[in-house]
Amino acid sequence: MSPTTLPAGLEHGSVTFLGAGPGDPGLLTLRAVQALANADVLIAEPEVLDVVRTHARQGVTVLDTESGPDTPQLTVVDGASTTAGAPASRDAAHIVMEAARSGRRVVRAVTGDPGLDTCAAQEMLACAAAGVPFEVVPGIAAAVGVPAYAGVPLRDAQGADVRFVDAATASERLWSEVGASDGTVVVSSTLDSVGAAASELVAAGRKPDTPLTVTIAGTTTRQRTWSATLGTIAQTLKQAKVLPSPEGGRPVIAVVGEHSAAAQREQLSWFESKPLFGWKVLVPRTKEQAASLSDQLRSYGAVPHEVPTIAVEPPRTPQQMERAVKGLVTGRYEWIAFTSVNAVKAVREKFEEYGLDARAFAGIKVAAVGEQTAKALVAFGVKPDLVPSGEQSAAGLLEDWPPYDPVFDPIDRVFLPRADIATETLVAGLIELGWEVDDVTAYRTVRASPPPAETREAIKGGGFDAVLFTSSSTVRNLVGIAGKPHNVTVIACIGPATAKTAEEHGLRVDVMAPEPSVHKLAEALAEFGSRRRAAAVEAGGPVTRPSERRPGARRRRSTT
């Protein structure tokens, strides 16, 4: 950006033209994320806002460029949107200029790359004319990113030429040029006009049997790709029942050419062949509990949807917890055992209430069940002394817990902060090993409020492809607050006890984790999806999601 003399009132205002990429939020650049985090105003079309909004800071004003003059602005607060005011004009350049003139840091986000966006170019010229400083953060263009996600390299070892064509603005001369060449042509078009673009290329000299791929909703979990030729693409889309369609105007990327590896797409389709590609998976846990699990599901191509089935509340009588925490400071305990993240949170909150920190654990041995519990302790500043070497459960912890030895253990007491509905397994096992146990209710678990009506309808109507049950209580609570999942939904359970509860509620269990771990459960679901996909391919049929089965279709019992 060249130095600019700013008019009065613009000393601190600036605009960042930012490329949001073709649709996958993971394709945002590091610079883009940094710019979004510092923005005072975020301006974009609705589909772009869906990609970039999560990276905006708290309090940013969000403006939708497609809204009318009476549509409220939005301000993001703690990830939610609240009404703030109304834009003065539908003209994006006007909105950008007005925001910059107020002295704020403006981010104007566009699909793909700003350099290929005609509106962004006009807005940059307006900034330059008004002396508003601006910068450009490049993004991945759809014409490049979408073929990569579709498994269609644009060049081969022979290094063929690659031409890019926007079908909406291409002249007859341009069609003639690309039709006369033998290089790869990447055509930006719409679903209902891609057939016409193919005809233009044939008329310009390309052979009708030239390979062609067409991708819709590229780089998202809604992506779908068809392979055909220039001469057959119209019939292929008709047979796939996507045309005619009300959504025929949706943008697509078509790749044409012998050198584009379209013929090898079956081997190179890495994205759409993920084991759970496009599956909508219900995770009955809070966002905090489900974070790593949801990330794992996304890596398999799934779309996780978190629905909390329990809520955590303080104990009805806090005195017992207060005495136990004071006992930690006065040296009453040799051990403290945490069996959940919620137990760590409860103790930490009580510490903060008394002005204590992790130093209060000095001289006390700390045990933890589960990876997430251990991580919560480390975040608190406490490294666990004991984590089960085998099964991550109370039974697994007892297998590794040392018996009380009066020679080596000066104190014989264990502090066990836990939920009000926890089982007695750990308490009984510790007593058998010779320890005295202060079994303290640190928090209560209560049934969560029902999810929104549309979520309840999706659960009962077969809108979800799978649901992960991580405990018997998640089965009971989900059925209680939202109803029983539809019979086409794949039911995955973390272990035999959870599976038994699911069956008692009339659910057929398709998947069970080989060991009681949420990550092993997700892995088992991915293996189930992979086998299901392989069976469909081997049978020569289409690869569909469970929710795409015919209503009322009976599921086969899984051998998983």
Q: Do the beta carbons of residue 461 and residue 518 sit within 8 Å?
A: no
Contact in structure between 544 and 536 (CB atoms under 8 Å): yes
Residue 21's contacts (CB-CB under 8 Å, 6 or more residues apart) are 27, 28, 51, 111, 112, 139, 140, 142, 145, 219
| CB within 8 Å of 90: residues ≥ 6 apart | 65, 66, 67, 68, 69
Q: Mind listing the pLDDT tens digit of every residue in the chain (560 residues)?
A: 433 344 444 455 899 999 999 999 999 999 999 999 999 999 999 989 989 998 999 889 999 887 643 333 444 433 444 334 334 335 788 889 888 888 899 999 999 999 999 889 999 999 999 899 999 999 999 999 999 999 998 887 676 789 999 999 999 999 999 988 888 999 999 999 999 999 999 999 999 999 999 999 999 999 999 999 999 999 999 998 888 777 778 899 999 987 655 557 778 899 999 999 999 999 997 766 677 888 899 999 999 999 998 888 888 888 999 999 999 989 999 999 999 888 999 999 999 999 999 999 999 999 998 888 898 999 999 999 999 988 778 888 999 999 999 988 889 999 999 887 666 788 999 999 999 999 999 998 888 899 999 999 999 999 999 999 988 889 999 999 999 999 999 999 999 999 999 999 999 999 999 988 888 999 999 999 999 999 998 998 888 999 986 544 444 444 34
What confidence score (pLDDT) does residue 292 get? 81
pLDDT at residue 260, rounded to an integer: 57
For residue 345, the model assigns a pLDDT of 92
* φ, ψ for residue 504, nearest 5 deg: -65, -25
The predicted structure's pLDDT at residue 287: 64
Q: How far is CA 337 from CA 389, 436, 440, 441, in A?
A: 15, 13, 11, 13
Distance (Å, whole) CA 440 – CA 422: 11
Helices 92-101 and 118-130, axial angle in degrees (round to 10) = 40
Cα–Cα distance for residue pair 205/519, rounded to 1 Å? 54
Counted residue by residue, the chain has a size of: 560
Alpha carbon distance 66, 119 (integer Å): 13
Specify the pairing of strand 184-190 against strand 251-256: antiparallel
Q: DSSP character for 477?
A: H
